[in-house]
Structure 1
Amino acid sequence: MSGPRAGAFAYPWDVDGDPAAPGLLADLGLAQVTLASAYHSTRALTPRHPAHRIVTAEHAAVLYPPDPGRWAGRPLRPHPAGEWAPGDSFGRAAEALAATGLQVHSWVVLAHNSRLGAEHPETSVVNAYGDRYPWAPCIGRPDVRALLVDLAAEAAARPGAAGTELESCGWYGLAHLHAHDKTGGVALGEREQYLMSLCFCPSCREGYGNEGADPGELAAAVRAALAPVWAGSGPAGGLGALEAPTAAWRAGTARTFQEAAVAAVRAAAPAGFRVLLHADPDPYRCGADSGTDPAHVLGLADGVVARPPRVADFAAHARPGTVLAANLSVVTGMGGAPGRLAHDIGLAHEAGAGELRLYHAGLASDEDLAVVRAALRKLG
């Protein structure tokens, strides 16, 4: 049985400084590695690295030296990593991976940056209660869009990369699992997450007004819709006549941001460079897999990386050459199921996926990787 083309995610610190890492990844049966070049703050396990076991990325950073000419004099700009990924960590890791025959694609996180929110709080999403989300830059703000579009171009088209995957290329919101997260006391479904992620910064207030919705009335309507949730008496209600103009502002803003980011990458990258978005077909979705219109995004980018249940929604709008990659978790300790990989690959293939993204080769245990290796070899 021949399966989809397999790739896996990795961080530069999984590879840089570990001479055995490239060969281990190549031996899994992968065709490519999606390697982080711009990433949010995190604490990550490195089970096999000879120099460390825990990497603490203290803030959102680019994992290469940013171009001083591009960012000179700009108050909003990316920051280089500290000791967790010094210098051109991406470049060194990419070169080592390429030497084994693995193709490298850059992995660029855009609208997820807690350092930006801490240093420039005005850039953050503000909910209907007036609370700021410092991890979530608001893509409705022109200054934020300018930063993220230029970041997309610089971080995507790195030397040694044959393509890119843009994560958080759209609205971000409540669902983040912030440091020592304690927001699970009240269960929030998709509708509640959406309402808690609606932004009321000055740019978004102006945007709602331009669509015919009074922002003050809208904020009050959101709070009223959520009141039963906090009381435990029922799910969130609707926004009535304010629903459509709210959705119009959000969808239109996400579309133009995605268009600008992809165009910037294409302008900076060589011919044949692939541009994929981590995406969800639900336009209300906020987060790493940003909400999109499948027909629009597949007419814009070369394809998408999506969770397996969502692949079929994109497959219905695929064109010749469209890349549909299924994102499958293979880290048992993070809820993945490597033992089901062959089964899950079959389901993803039936849904239309021609490629796989395995999350996450650097975080997985040796035991998990052994199961992955066996599954990929069986699929041929």
Structure 2
Amino acid sequence: MKTSAFLYPWDVVGDPHAAARLVDLGVQQVTLASAYHSTRALTPRHPDRRVVTAEHAAVLYPPDPARWAGRRLRPYEQTWVSGDDPYAEAAEALAGAGLQVHSWVVLAHNSRLGAEHPDTSVVNAYGDRYPWAPCIARPEVRAYLVDLAAEAAVRPGALGTELESCGWYGFAHLHAHDKTAGVGLGDAAQYLMSLCFCPDCRAGYAGTGLDADELAAAVRRALEPVWAGSGTVAAGWSGVGELLGAGLADASRRWRDAVARELQEAAVAAVRSAAPGPDFQVLLHADPASYRTGANVGVDPAHLLSTADGAVLPCTGGEAAREAVLGPFAGLTGVLAANFNVVTGMGGSPATLERDAAHARALGAGELRLYHAGLASGPDLEAVAGALSRINR
């Protein structure tokens, strides 16, 4: 199975041995971040540093001044990795070692954008803004994300790209000092807390025959038992219908699915237009349940594979979890890459990678993704190298 490891440019820049370690790991490709959200990351093997603090979402290359001139929304530049173009420097070193390089582009996840331009953010049914979650229904936001996708994906030397968060982001943030676990929110409550009520979404609901004020009130009523901790809610989409009512739930989902599909189609088309040739691969990080939000955006599998070349699917966990994300793609044509967390300290299981990869392959996955070669410990990487040596026999 073709295998790619995720990496940040700062894992490579300033470390002359980084590329050779990736080759020794047994991967054929590196998925290298070119546009990324804020984070604090360990660099356990770098000769000069141990922690990188990416203070805000940024591009890891110099953005094109002509593309962004006069625009209110534009990519932020990074200041935490030395050099004019950290992405290019890292990509050149990796390619020089014989590795294929694909770009890794995070789109609708940007806390600084929401802090500086509050009108761009998702607004929940209570009027709370989510500054980390740009609302993809807003035309200015969509135009920004489409142009960012094209620019950040097609970097010099990249043979393909993976677009993360190319769809709705919502309540779950995952990259802040969250204090939100006091009340357990399952799929259904997460969906309701992720519904947006900004002016553009309100108009969109109206277009489907919904009154936005009535929908917001229904969401608040539906969530009262959740806050009170009373009763149980079915898992998955049936739980949303149970809380909100099937009619309201389905109508809200129709609007959001249409908006997400429009962004995905436009972003992929923009990347392909900018790509150096027809073989440039475009994959989306995805979840086959279209109502889900986050880094792995909810999609319709058939639509995704009619738009992009394939999907990167979260496969960490047990067999049931893999069956849930890979099963809906059965019988469809396209690249399916099973993404496994191999960082033990972050909930990964490198020791079971060989077995888990075999199960994913039996379910239709043709490629592997490993998260994350720069963050993993030495023992984790040793376990991965052993597993890949056996997988690649």
Q: Following the alignment from structure 2 to structure 1, what is the Cα–Cα distance between the partners of residues 90 and 175?
A: 28
> Contact conserved, 1:311 with 1:326, CA < 8 A, in 2?
no
SS of equivalent residue, structure 2 residue 52: strand
In the alignment, residue 161 of structure 1 is paired with which amino acid?
A
Answer yes or no: is 1:372 the counterpart of 2:384.
yes
User: For residues 136-195 of structure 1, what are the alpha-carbon distances to aligned partners after superposition, in whole Å with 9 as ceiling and x for unaligned?
Assistant: 000000000000000000000000100000000000001112421100000010111111
Answer yes or no: is 1:116 the counterpart of 2:123.
no
Cα-Cα RMSD: 1.1
Residue of structure 2 in register with 1:293 after alignment = 300
> Contact conserved, 1:311 with 1:324, CA < 8 A, in 2?
no
> Contact conserved, 1:116 with 1:123, CA < 8 A, in 2?
yes
User: For residues 10-67 of structure 1, what are the alpha-carbon distances to aligned partners after superposition, in whole Å with 9 as ceiling and x for unaligned?
Assistant: 0000011100000000111101000000000000000000111000000000000000
Q: Cα distance 1:213–1:85, how it changes in 2: closer, same or farther (>3 A)?
A: farther
Residue of structure 2 in register with 1:331 after alignment = 343
Select which of 261, 266, 282 maps to 1:260: 266
User: For residues 217-276 of structure 1, what are the alpha-carbon distances to aligned partners after superposition, in whole Å with 9 as ceiling and x for unaligned?
Assistant: 000000111110000112451234322221111000000110000000000002110000
Matches within 5 A, 1:90-239: 90-235=87-232, 237-239=243-245
Cα distance, 1:312 vs. partner?
Answer: 2.3
Q: Following the alignment from structure 2 to structure 1, what is the Cα–Cα distance between the partners of residues 80 and 226?
A: 44
Bigger mean CA deviation after superposition, 63-72 or 236-245: 236-245
Answer yes or no: is 1:250 the counterpart of 2:251.
no
**Structure 1 stretches of at least 4 aligned residues deviating more than 4 Å after TM superposition:** none
> Contact conserved, 1:22 with 1:97, CA < 8 A, in 2?
yes
Q: Following the alignment from structure 1 to structure 2, what is the Cα–Cα distance between the partners of residues 190 and 38?
A: 28
> Contact conserved, 2:38 with 2:175, CA < 8 A, in 1?
no
> Contact conserved, 1:302 with 1:323, CA < 8 A, in 2?
yes
SS of equivalent residue, structure 1 residue 255: helix
> Contact conserved, 2:136 with 2:263, CA < 8 A, in 1?
yes
Residue of structure 2 in register with 1:315 after alignment = 329
Cα distance, 1:5 vs. partner?
Answer: 1.1
Cα distance, 1:315 vs. partner?
Answer: 3.1
SS of equivalent residue, structure 1 residue 106: strand
Residue of structure 2 in register with 1:278 after alignment = 285
SS of equivalent residue, structure 2 residue 268: helix
Q: Following the alignment from structure 2 to structure 1, what is the Cα–Cα distance between the partners of residues 300 and 82?
A: 35
Q: Cα distance 1:77–1:173, how it changes in 2: closer, same or farther (>3 A)?
A: same
Q: Following the alignment from structure 1 to structure 2, what is the Cα–Cα distance between the partners of residues 5 and 292?
A: 24
In the alignment, residue 22 of structure 1 is paired with which amino acid?
A
In the alignment, residue 216 of structure 1 is paired with which amino acid?
D
Bigger mean CA deviation after superposition, 64-73 or 236-245: 236-245
Matches within 5 A, 1:76-91: 76-84=73-81, 86-91=83-88
Compute the TM-score of the two structures, normalised by the length of structure 2.
Answer: 0.94
Cα distance, 1:87 vs. partner?
Answer: 2.0
Q: Which sections of structure 1, spanning at least 5 residues, go unmatched?
A: none
In the alignment, residue 50 of structure 2 is paired with which amino acid?
R
In the alignment, residue 253 of structure 1 is paired with which amino acid?
V
SS of equivalent residue, structure 1 residue 270: coil
Select which of 335, 338, 344 maps to 2:356: 344
Cα distance, 1:307 vs. partner?
Answer: 1.6
Q: Following the alignment from structure 1 to structure 2, what is the Cα–Cα distance between the partners of residues 99 and 165?
A: 21
Q: Following the alignment from structure 2 to structure 1, what is the Cα–Cα distance between the partners of residues 221 and 163?
A: 35
> Contact conserved, 2:59 with 2:75, CA < 8 A, in 1?
yes
Q: Following the alignment from structure 1 to structure 2, what is the Cα–Cα distance between the partners of residues 71 and 235?
A: 49
Cα distance, 1:70 vs. partner?
Answer: 0.1
Cα distance, 1:85 vs. partner?
Answer: 5.4
Residue of structure 1 in register with 2:44 after alignment = 47
Q: Following the alignment from structure 2 to structure 1, what is the Cα–Cα distance between the partners of residues 30 and 347?
A: 21
Tell me the percent identity.
67
Q: Following the alignment from structure 1 to structure 2, what is the Cα–Cα distance between the partners of residues 222 and 127?
A: 9
Compute the TM-score of the two structures, normalised by the length of structure 1.
Answer: 0.97
User: For residues 185-211 of structure 1, what are the alpha-carbon distances to aligned partners after superposition, in whole Å with 9 as ceiling and x for unaligned?
Assistant: 000101111110000001000000111
Cα distance, 1:86 vs. partner?
Answer: 4.3
SS of equivalent residue, structure 1 residue 209: helix
